[in-house]
Structure 1
Amino acid sequence: MTVFKSIKSDFKPPDMGIQSTEEKPERDPESIADSSSKNSADAHASEEDENFDASHPESLLKRDLDSRHIQFIALGGSIGTGFFIGSGSTLAAGGPAFLMIGFITMGFMIMTVIYALGELVSTLPVSGAFSAYATRFIDPAWGFAMGYNYWFQWVIMLPLESTACAIVVKFWDPDELVPKGAVVAMFLFVIVVINLFGVRGYAEFEFVSSLIKLIACVGFIIFAIVVDCGGTPMYIGSEESFPGPGPNNPDWHHGYLGAYFWHNPGAIKNGFKGFASVFTVAALAYGGTELVGIAAAETKEPRKTLPRATKQVMSRVLVFYLVTLFMITLTVRSDDDRLIGDSSYDPKTSPFVIAIQNTGVLALDHIFNAVIVISTLSVGNASVFASSRTLHSLAENGLAPKIFLRVDRQGRPYVAVALSLLVGLLGFLVYSSNQGTIFSWLVGITGLAAIFTWGSICATHIRFRRAWVKQGNRLSQLPWLSPLGELGSWIGLTFNVLVLCISFYIGAFPKDEGTMSGMDRAYEFFLEMISLVVILFLYLTFKIVKRTKIVRSKDMDLHTGRREQVPEEILEMERAEERAKPLWKKVLSFLY
Structure 2
Amino acid sequence: MIAMGGSIGTGLFVASGSAISQAGPGGALLAYVGIGIMVYFLMTSLGEMATYMPVSGSFATYATRFVDPAVGFALGWNYWFNWAITLAVDISTTAIIVRFWFPSWPSWAISVFFLLLIFAINIISVKSFGETEYWLAFIKVTTVIIFLAVGLLTIVGILGGRGPVGLKNFTYKGGPFIGGMPAILSVFVVAGFSFQGTELIGITAGESATPEKSIPKAIKQVFWRILLFYILAIFVIAALIPYTSPKLLGSSASDIATSPFTLVFQRIGLAGAASVMNAVILTSVISAANSGMYASTRMLWAMGKEGQAGRIFAKTSRRGVPLMALLLTTFVGAFTLLTSIMGPHVYTLLVAASGLTGFIAWLGIAISHYRFRKAFRFQGHELDELAYKAKWFPFGPILAMFLSIVVILGQDIPAVLHLNWEHLGISYMSIPLFLVLFIYYKVKYKTKVIPLGEVDLSPHKDDPDYVAKQARMKQQQK
TM-score (norm 1): 0.75
The separation in 2 between residues aligned to 1:336 and 1:166, in whole angstroms, is: 28
For the pair 1:383 / 2:292, whether they are aligned, the reply is yes
Question: 1:108 aligned to 20, 26, 37, which one?
Answer: 37
Q: Could you report, residue by residue, the CA deviation over 1:432-477 in whole angstroms, capped at 9, with x for unpaired residues?
A: 34432x3333333331112111111111111111111111211111
For the pair 1:310 / 2:310, whether they are aligned, the reply is no
In structure 2, the CA distance between the partners of 1:543 and 1:100, relative to structure 1 (3 Å rule), is same
Question: 1:461 aligned to 361, 369, 373, which one?
Answer: 369
Q: Could you report, residue by residue, the CA deviation over 1:168-201 in whole angstroms, capped at 9, with x for unpaired residues?
A: 223334xx12222232122223212312331111
Cα shift at 1:532: 1.0
Q: Could you report, residue by residue, the CA deviation over 1:73-113 in whole angstroms, capped at 9, with x for unpaired residues?
A: 32232111222112122222111111100000000001110
TM-score (norm 2): 0.92
Aligned counterparts, 1:303-342, within 5 A: 303-341=212-250
For the pair 1:402 / 2:311, whether they are aligned, the reply is yes
In structure 2, the CA distance between the partners of 1:506 and 1:460, relative to structure 1 (3 Å rule), is farther
The separation in 2 between residues aligned to 1:392 and 1:405, in whole angstroms, is: 5
For the pair 1:501 / 2:428, whether they are aligned, the reply is no
The separation in 2 between residues aligned to 1:233 and 1:222, in whole angstroms, is: 13
User: Which residue identity lines up with residue 129 of structure 2 in the other structure?
Assistant: Y
Question: 1:549 aligned to 415, 428, 448, which one?
Answer: 448
Alignment-derived partner of residue 540 in structure 1 = 439
The separation in 1 between residues aligned to 2:183 and 2:100, in whole angstroms, is: 29
The separation in 2 between residues aligned to 1:327 and 1:303, in whole angstroms, is: 37
The separation in 2 between residues aligned to 1:184 and 1:411, in whole angstroms, is: 27
Structure 1 residue ranges without an equivalent (≥5): 1-71, 235-253, 565-592
Structure whose alpha-carbon radius of gyration is higher: 1
Alignment-derived partner of residue 263 in structure 1 = 171
Alignment-derived partner of residue 448 in structure 1 = 356
Alignment-derived partner of residue 99 in structure 1 = 28
User: Which residue identity lines up with residue 410 of structure 1 in the other structure?
Assistant: R
The separation in 2 between residues aligned to 1:86 and 1:342, in whole angstroms, is: 5
Alignment-derived partner of residue 210 in structure 1 = 137
The separation in 2 between residues aligned to 1:342 and 1:133, in whole angstroms, is: 35
Cα shift at 1:230: 2.1
Contact 1:276/1:506 (8 A) holds in 2: no
Contact 1:171/1:348 (8 A) holds in 2: no
Aligned partner of residue 56 in structure 2, secondary structure:
coil
The separation in 1 between residues aligned to 2:208 and 2:3, in whole angstroms, is: 13
Contact 2:86/2:350 (8 A) holds in 1: no
Question: 2:73 aligned to 124, 144, 148, which one?
Answer: 144
Contact 1:467/1:554 (8 A) holds in 2: yes
Q: Which 10-residue stretch deviates more, 265-274 or 400-409? A: 265-274
Contact 1:135/1:142 (8 A) holds in 2: yes
Contact 1:92/1:334 (8 A) holds in 2: yes
For the pair 1:292 / 2:292, whether they are aligned, the reply is no
Question: 1:198 aligned to 119, 122, 125, which one?
Answer: 125
Q: Could you report, residue by residue, the CA deviation over 1:254-278 in whole angstroms, capped at 9, with x for unpaired residues?
A: 2111112212243233233211211
The separation in 2 between residues aligned to 1:233 and 1:264, in whole angstroms, is: 20
The separation in 1 between residues aligned to 2:54 and 2:198, in whole angstroms, is: 17
Identity, % of aligned pairs?
Answer: 33
Q: Could you report, residue by residue, the CA deviation over 1:473-504 in whole angstroms, capped at 9, with x for unpaired residues?
A: 11111111112333211222122122223226
The separation in 2 between residues aligned to 1:192 and 1:396, in whole angstroms, is: 22
The separation in 2 between residues aligned to 1:232 and 1:141, in whole angstroms, is: 57
The separation in 2 between residues aligned to 1:497 and 1:221, in whole angstroms, is: 33
Q: Could you report, residue by residue, the CA deviation over 1:301-355 in whole angstroms, capped at 9, with x for unpaired residues?
A: 1111211112122112111111122111112222222233485542123111122
The separation in 2 between residues aligned to 1:525 and 1:342, in whole angstroms, is: 20
Alignment-derived partner of residue 528 in structure 1 = 427
Contact 1:95/1:268 (8 A) holds in 2: yes
For the pair 1:224 / 2:151, whether they are aligned, the reply is yes
The separation in 1 between residues aligned to 2:353 and 2:119, in whole angstroms, is: 26
Cα shift at 1:378: 0.3
For the pair 1:432 / 2:341, whether they are aligned, the reply is yes
The separation in 2 between residues aligned to 1:231 and 1:178, in whole angstroms, is: 42
Cα shift at 1:370: 0.9
In structure 2, the CA distance between the partners of 1:506 and 1:137, relative to structure 1 (3 Å rule), is farther
Aligned partner of residue 429 in structure 2, secondary structure:
helix
Question: 1:489 aligned to 393, 397, 401, which one?
Answer: 397
The separation in 2 between residues aligned to 1:412 and 1:271, in whole angstroms, is: 49
Q: Could you report, residue by residue, the CA deviation over 1:229-252 in whole angstroms, capped at 9, with x for unpaired residues?
A: 223447xxxxxxxxxxxxxxxxxx
The separation in 2 between residues aligned to 1:522 and 1:154, in whole angstroms, is: 26
Alignment-derived partner of residue 76 in structure 1 = 5
Aligned counterparts, 1:406-417, within 5 A: 406-417=315-326
The separation in 2 between residues aligned to 1:195 and 1:440, in whole angstroms, is: 27
In structure 2, the CA distance between the partners of 1:347 and 1:491, relative to structure 1 (3 Å rule), is same
Contact 2:111/2:336 (8 A) holds in 1: yes
Alignment-derived partner of residue 53 in structure 1 = none
The separation in 1 between residues aligned to 2:74 and 2:56, in whole angstroms, is: 16
Cα shift at 1:426: 1.7
Alignment-derived partner of residue 85 in structure 2 = 156
Structure 2 residue ranges without an equivalent (≥5): 464-478
For the pair 1:183 / 2:92, whether they are aligned, the reply is no
The separation in 1 between residues aligned to 2:159 and 2:96, in whole angstroms, is: 30
Contact 1:85/1:345 (8 A) holds in 2: no
Cα shift at 1:404: 0.5
For the pair 1:86 / 2:26, whether they are aligned, the reply is no
Contact 1:445/1:534 (8 A) holds in 2: no
Contact 1:73/1:206 (8 A) holds in 2: yes
For the pair 1:472 / 2:399, whether they are aligned, the reply is no
In structure 2, the CA distance between the partners of 1:215 and 1:441, relative to structure 1 (3 Å rule), is same
Select the structure that is richer in helix: 2
User: Which residue identity lines up with residue 27 of structure 2 in the other structure?
Assistant: F
Cα shift at 1:533: 1.2
The separation in 2 between residues aligned to 1:184 and 1:386, in whole angstroms, is: 20
In structure 2, the CA distance between the partners of 1:466 and 1:233, relative to structure 1 (3 Å rule), is closer
The separation in 1 between residues aligned to 2:96 and 2:350, in whole angstroms, is: 18
The separation in 1 between residues aligned to 2:429 and 2:172, in whole angstroms, is: 38
In structure 2, the CA distance between the partners of 1:387 and 1:115, relative to structure 1 (3 Å rule), is same
Aligned partner of residue 410 in structure 2, secondary structure:
helix
The separation in 1 between residues aligned to 2:116 and 2:348, in whole angstroms, is: 25
Number of residue pairs matched? 462
Alignment-derived partner of residue 393 in structure 1 = 302
